[in-house]
């Protein structure tokens, strides 16, 4: 609810700015033309993943992972790394935070392991693994538009090297920090039966079809919306009670709408221009580091979405936009509010009675965030 309140306040302030002429209506129209496909994608992909979870798809994946782990905690953890990475790349970081977090926590508890290594892996990779494709993060969709709408393959060609580094560095740090938990053994539990085979297999088919569709170059809101309509129709017939208002990400959409509008106001009064001297202007390794580190600092102070929006106008080129994405995607690992995914992750952990010590989280973030951002930026500099 706090997310929706913050979003509502930002919307109110933005509307006031329009009413009093601080922001021209024409600029708001241009902003809305960029924003509505992104918000529609967020709504549609959330509906797909929520309904797929209610069909038992993600629980089944967790149970299968427990078997693939062969009773070894480190192997099960590596499978969690793979799931978190794939989920983030193809279904977005917020999907990973919302749906994979309870899966890995329940999985760890079912086999008698500490959920903390799995939970930390999930939230870090939900952020850092979100560099590769436009669908992986809202910031990427915005950057794709600013780059002139390259195809997902063209976008990935720019982001591949830093994306690999941004996945590997946090993974290594989690392993080092939690290694005493990972060298244990476990006994897999018996599988739970599938409650409704039709819902299960339709959900599996929709999710499987979405993965190539989202990287095909088609505007991502189209396949996501089609998948949402299919699942809604099947659930209306098979399990109408599962279709509730709560499956809609209205709090996230409210916050994102408020952030978009409020940052538009800040840009109109000259904030972006003031940041030009901080973020630099060239494409040398040092200049790219200035952009990415500025993005990292802004994300941990503001939140990664407004940080991107404020700094986008001073990026100036596709390579510098990728450097900015490194900062705002892989950098928000320090403060709890640095990304919405982290807030959603913590909310899920609270409902599962998993306690996180924010002091330790911040200390670890102070190590892994700068390390990841710097190394990923250097990887970008070496490949352009």
Per-residue model confidence (pLDDT) at position 97: 84
pLDDT value at 117 more than 80 = yes
Structure tokens at 336: 């709890």
With beta carbons less than 8 A apart as the criterion, state whether 378 and 162 touch: no
| Of 27 and 93, more confident | 93
Q: For the chain, report the end-to-end CA distance as a whole number of angstroms.
A: 43
Write down how long the chain is: 384
User: How high is the pLDDT of residue 272?
Assistant: 63
Contacts for 40 with CB less than 8 Å, ≥ 6 apart: 221, 224, 225
Q: Domain residue spans in the chain?
A: 2-269
When the pLDDT of each residue in the chain is averaged and rounded to a whole number, the result is: 87
> What is the rounded CA–CA span in Å between residue 246 and residue 255?
16
Q: What is the pLDDT of residues 317-333, one digit of tens each?
A: 999 999 999 999 999 99
Taking the model in full, what pTM does it have?
0.81
**pLDDT, tens digit (0-9, with 9 covering 90-100), for 238-275:** 999 888 888 887 877 887 788 777 777 776 666 666 66
Residues 210-241: pLDDT tens digits?
888 877 778 888 998 999 999 999 999 999 98
Contact between 25 and 159 (Cβ < 8 Å): no
d(CA 7, CA 13): 10
State yes or no: pLDDT of 192 exceeds 70.
yes
Q: How many CB atoms lie within 10 A of CB 25?
A: 9
Highest mean pLDDT among 66-80, 297-311, 322-336: 322-336
- For tokens 């993005």, the residue is 295
State residue 114 phi and psi, 5-degree precision.
-70, 130
**Measured distance CA(230)–CA(226) in Å, rounded:** 6
Task: Say what the pLDDT of residue 271 is.
Answer: 66
pLDDT of residue 269: 66
Tell me, what DSSP letter sits at residue 245? G
Q: What's the pLDDT at 25?
A: 78
The mean per-residue pLDDT over the stretch 17-42 comes to 79
Residue, of 96 and 226, whose pLDDT is higher: 226
- Predicted local distance difference test score (pLDDT) of residue 31: 75
Whether the predicted pLDDT of 294 surpasses 90: yes
Helix 101-110 and helix 57-68, axial crossing angle in degrees, nearest 10: 50
Query: Cα(66)–Cα(109) distance, rounded to whole angstroms?
Result: 11
335: pLDDT strictly greater than 70: yes
The percentage of residues in the chain with a pLDDT greater than 70, rounded to a whole number, is 95
For 95-143, what is the HEC assignment?
A: HHHHHHHHHHHHHHHHCCCCCHHHHHHHHHHHHHCCCCCHHHCHHHHHH
Flag the least confident range among 106-110, 169-173, 367-371: 106-110
The pLDDT of residue 345 is 87
pLDDT score recorded for residue 200: 95
**pLDDT winner (highest mean) among 89-93, 158-162, 301-305, 358-362:** 158-162
Nearest by Cα to 121 from 164, 171, 65:
171
Average pLDDT over residues 86-90: 91
pLDDT at 89 over 80: yes
Residue 204: per-residue pLDDT = 92
Candidate from 46-60, 167-181, 275-289 with smallest mean pLDDT: 275-289
Tokens of 364: 């670890």
Task: Tell me which residue has tokens 């509730």.
Answer: 244
- Evaluate whether 324 touches 311 at the Cβ level (below 8 Å): yes
pLDDT band for position 197 (cuts 50, 70, 90): very high
| Residue 161 confidence (pLDDT) above 80 | yes
How far is the C-alpha of 372 from the C-alpha of 332, rounded, in Å?
Answer: 11
Structure tokens at 16: 């006031």
- 171 confidence band (pLDDT: 50, 70, 90): very high
Q: Give the separation between CA 253 and CA 39, rounded to whole angstroms.
A: 6
CA pair distance 125, 134, nearest whole angstrom? 16
Is the pLDDT at 42 greater than 90? The verdict is: no
List the single range of 3-7, 89-93, 168-172, 274-278 with lowest mean pLDDT.
274-278
Residue 188 pLDDT more than 90?
no
Q: What pLDDT does 217 receive? A: 74
**Cα 263 from Cα 272, distance rounded (Å):** 10
With a CB cutoff of 8 Å and minimum separation 6, the contacts of 48 are 206, 207, 210, 224, 227, 228, 231
- CA nearest 322: which of 138, 163, 164, 167? 163
């Amino acid at each position: 609810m706090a997310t929706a309140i913050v979003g509502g306040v930002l919307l109110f302030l933005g509307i006031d700015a329009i009413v009093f002429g601080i922001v021209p209506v024409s600029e708001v129209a241009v902003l809305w033309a960029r924003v509505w496909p992104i918000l529609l994608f967020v709504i549609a992909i959330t509906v797909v993943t929520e309904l797929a979870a209610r069909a038992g798809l993600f629980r089944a994946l967790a149970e299968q992972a427990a078997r693939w782990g062969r009773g070894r905690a480190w192997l099960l953890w590596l499978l969690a790394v793979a799931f978190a990475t794939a989920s983030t790349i193809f279904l977005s970081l917020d999907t990973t935070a919302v749906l994979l977090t309870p899966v890995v926590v329940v999985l760890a508890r079912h086999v008698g392991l500490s959920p903390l290594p799995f939970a930390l892996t999930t939230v870090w990779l939900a952020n850092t693994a979100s560099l590769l494709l436009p669908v992986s993060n809202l910031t990427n969709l915005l950057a794709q538009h600013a780059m002139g709408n390259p195809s997902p393959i063209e976008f990935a060609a720019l982001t591949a090297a830093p994306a690999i580094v941004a996945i590997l560095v946090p993974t290594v740090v989690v392993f080092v920090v939690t290694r005493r938990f990972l060298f244990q053994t476990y006994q897999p539990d018996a599988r739970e039966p599938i409650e409704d085979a039709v819902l299960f297999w339709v959900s599996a088919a929709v999710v499987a079809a979405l993965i190539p569709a989202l990287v095909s170059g088609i505007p991502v809101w189209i396949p996501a919306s089609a998948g949402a309509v299919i699942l809604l129709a099947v659930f209306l017939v098979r399990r109408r009670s599962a279709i509730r208002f709560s499956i809609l990400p209205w709090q996230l959409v409210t916050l994102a709408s408020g952030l978009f509008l409020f940052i538009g106001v800040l840009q109109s009064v000259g904030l972006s221009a003031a940041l030009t001297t901080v973020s630099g202007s060239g494409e040398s390794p040092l200049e790219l580091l200035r952009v990415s580190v500025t993005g990292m600092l802004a994300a941990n102070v503001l939140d990664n979405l407004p940080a991107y929006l404020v700094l986008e106008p001073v990026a100036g080129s596709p390579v510098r936009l990728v450097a900015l994405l490194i900062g705002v995607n892989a950098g928000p690992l320090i403060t709890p509010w640095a990304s919405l995914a982290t807030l959603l992750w913590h909310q899920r952990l609270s409902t599962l009675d998993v306690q996180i010590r924010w002091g330790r989280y911040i200390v670890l973030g102070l190590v892994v965030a700068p390390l990841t951002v710097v190394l990923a930026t250097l990887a970008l500099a070496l490949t352009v």
